[in-house]
Amino acid sequence: MADIADRLFNILSSPGFLSMQGLANEVPIFIHAYDATQEDDTRRMVDHLAARLRTSGVELAQVDLFDLILEQLEDEQRLEKIIEREATLGKLKLKGLLSNLSDPKSRLIPRLMSRIGGVDIQLTLLTGVGRVYPFLRTHTILEAIQPAMTAHPIVMFFPGEYVQESMGSQLHLFGSVPNPKLSRAYYRAFNLADYRL
């Protein structure tokens, strides 16, 4: 994990990365995939990485998507009511309710942008992707964030695999095996594993 943290620090603190050089007008969204069994270690590594980047002078926002949604529900005074009704709602109704209340385009992304839209922010680290599943899917977050984000790089920490091929891309959350009948999508996100200084 120390080697990964050092590599990420070298990339994310580099002036070329922070100034989005070489992106050819693509959105500055990057995915760092990791083994889902390493969730706890990765969360600690991201916290340490954020502190190290801040110490080196990088202004960053660190946002956990699950915490962001909980914050929204608390601000709207809905969280307690949802918790009270959780047992009676059942899994499908609860998932549907949470999906509606965390809609990326109308709710999540506007709140995220207010958090990361400061003029001094140079970088955003997004975590909590696995924690918001299944009521919020990574591809919907990526689709919603693309039109909104061009000011600085965003790195999404993804518990699974990000496979990019000439035919498209696939996100395999938690190392799942993809359904061969599903088409590949084109995610406008760069695989950080392929990034070279």
The Cβ of residue 86 has, within 10 Å, a number of other Cβ atoms equal to 13
- Length of the chain, in residues: 197
pLDDT at 164: 64
pLDDT of residue 181: 46
Place of tokens 């506007």: 110
CA separation, residue 34 to residues 52, 55, 67, 172, 192 (Å): 20, 25, 20, 11, 11
| Alpha-carbon span 57 to 54, nearest angstrom | 5
Separation of alpha carbons 88 and 111, rounded Å: 29
pLDDT tens per residue across all 197 residues of the chain: 779 999 999 999 999 999 888 776 677 889 999 998 999 999 999 999 999 999 999 999 999 999 999 999 999 999 898 888 888 888 888 888 888 888 888 888 888 888 887 778 999 999 998 888 887 887 778 888 876 666 899 999 988 877 666 555 666 566 665 555 444 454 567 888 888 87
pTM recorded for the entire structure: 0.85
Look at residue 109 in the predicted model and tell me its pLDDT: 85
Contacts of 192 (CB under 8 A, 6+ apart): 8, 11, 30, 31, 32, 155
